[in-house]
Amino acid sequence: MDTEALQRRLAAFAAERDWEPFHSPKNLAMALAAEAGELLEVFQWLSEAESAALAPGDKGWELAQDELADLQIFLLRLADRLGVDLERAVEEKIRRNAERYPVEQVRGDATKFSHRD
């Protein structure tokens, strides 16, 4: 994914529509969280097994795909507005997660994976 090229296209899309004043980081964070809420709706009454069995063509799968695209778009747009290098931030986070969750200590227990600190 060419994040910079996508960010330029999304910025142009907003600029052409005079939407820039609406795209404050605060508002984009709300829009992103609203999309996350729509993603939850797809899965809320499904069992975990049902969620794992969704496949292309299933209504739930198609809805999920659509929400994932919306989430990626708002994520790119918000990173752009804040000046966050998304790729570098992901690399840094993976590195820190590896330090914080050593294989031997957390094996088989995802509850030890707390993103709270």
> 72-111: which residues touch a second copy (CB under 8 A)?
72-73, 75, 78-79, 81-84, 86-87, 89-90, 92-94, 97-98, 101, 103, 106-108, 110-111
CA angle 54, 115, 70 (to 5 degrees): 45
- Listed in sequence order, the residues at least 6 apart from 51 whose beta carbon sits closer than 8 Å to its beta carbon are 43, 60
Q: Does 45 bind a second copy (CB under 8 A)?
A: yes
For residue 106, the minimal CB distance to a second copy (Å) is 5
Is residue 12 within the footprint of a second copy (CB under 8 A)?
no
